[in-house]
């Protein structure tokens, strides 16, 4: 019998981004999970299209948002993040065995919301006369997934709680820039994404604390150790404290940011 975890490998390995999103949205949460089954992926990394060209993040140049192309480049970068986020959530589902069933259904739901975000953004790009793949992008988010593939605590501790939480901080400023430049539709999409990303980071916090409790670890000190061990990006202000509180960060964690 197939399982939800095996089924997650299908969209994870799919190279076409539109088909990846569609296949993710089609995953059936009613399938048995088979939490303790060790799985082997059919490839080393998730399926990716030939475009966009992947460059170091320092080589990705922004352009003025007063131009259509400048706004498209900004939206393209967020669309790329959402595609990576689909793979990150699916990767957690198939890669890490032995967690409670609710862990896997949580991350499939998250993958499906990321697929919705990708689709909204990609459709908006198409409406502007562009498409996903038209501009270069970077691979920093997936690089961190590869670094943390050996330990579910590190993956959950760093990716949703650091990399994705940065999106909570950045979203209001990005939305304001788009709306100020006249892209009200883009602003509405970012509102949808921010609301649902709060839930994704909250799931990361919930399962991170579950794993820390299982291993007898202090969440705050362990997080600092993980950041140093895996050379995660250092977080810099401004911070969206209200969104971070909604996402379940404790006051000691918010204090540590400053």
Total structural domains within the chain: 1
Buried b / exposed e along 17-53 (16+ C-beta atoms within 10 A): bbebbebbeebeeebebbbeeeeeeeeeebbbeeebe
Within a domain: residue 121? yes
Q: Is the pLDDT of residue 61 over 90?
A: no
Identify whether the C-beta of residue 74 lies closer than 8 Å to the C-beta of residue 65: yes
Identify whether the C-beta of residue 162 lies closer than 8 Å to the C-beta of residue 248: no
Please, what is the average pLDDT of the chain?
Answer: 95
Within a domain: residue 145? yes
Q: What was the pLDDT predicted at 153? A: 98
> Rounded to whole angstroms, how far apart are CA atoms 37 and 40?
10
Within a domain: residue 41? no
Q: Average of pLDDT values for 149-157?
A: 97
Within a domain: residue 12? yes
Within a domain: residue 136? yes
Domain boundaries, position 101: 4-33+47-257
Within a domain: residue 160? yes
Q: What number of residues does the chain have?
A: 258
Q: What was the pLDDT predicted at 1? A: 54
Does an H or E element contain 20, and which?
A: helix 17-25
List the CATH number of the domain containing 23. 1.20.1260
220, HSE (Cβ side, Cα atoms, 13 Å): 9
Within a domain: residue 62? yes
The 10s digit of each residue's pLDDT in 220-230 is 999 999 999 99
Report residue 188 as tokens: 């509405």
Identify whether the C-beta of residue 157 lies closer than 8 Å to the C-beta of residue 42: no
Within a domain: residue 42? no
Q: Is the pLDDT of residue 123 over 80?
A: yes
């Amino acid at each position: 019998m197939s399982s939800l975890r095996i089924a997650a490998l299908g969209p994870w390995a799919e190279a076409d981004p539109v088909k990846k999103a569609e296949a993710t949205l089609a995953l059936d949460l009613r399938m048995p999970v088979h939490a303790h089954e060790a799985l082997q992926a059919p490839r080393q990394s998730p399926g990716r299209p030939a475009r966009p060209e992947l460059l170091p993040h320092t080589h990705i140049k922004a352009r003025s948002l007063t131009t259509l192309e400048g706004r498209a480049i900004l939206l393209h970068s967020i669309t790329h993040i959402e595609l990576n986020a689909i793979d990150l959530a699916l990767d957690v589902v198939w890669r890490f065995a032995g967690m409670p069933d609710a862990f896997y259904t949580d991350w499939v739901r998250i993958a499906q919301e990321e697929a919705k975000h990708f689709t909204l953004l990609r459709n908006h790009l198409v409406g502007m006369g562009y498409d996903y793949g038209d501009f270069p992008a970077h691979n920093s988010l997936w690089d961190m997934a590869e670094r943390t593939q050996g330990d579910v605590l590190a993956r959950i501790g760093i990716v949703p709680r650091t990399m994705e939480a940065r999106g909570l901080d950045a979203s209001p400023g990005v939305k304001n820039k788009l709306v100020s430049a006249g892209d009200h539709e883009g602003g509405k999409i970012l509102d949808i994404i921010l609301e649902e990303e709060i839930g994704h980071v909250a799931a990361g916090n919930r399962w991170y604390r579950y794993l820390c409790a299982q291993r007898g670890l202090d969440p705050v000190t362990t997080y600092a150790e993980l950041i140093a061990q895996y050379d995660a990006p250092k977080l810099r202000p401004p911070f969206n404290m209200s969104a971070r509180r909604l996402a379940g960060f404790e006051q000691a964690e918010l204090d540590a940011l400053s």
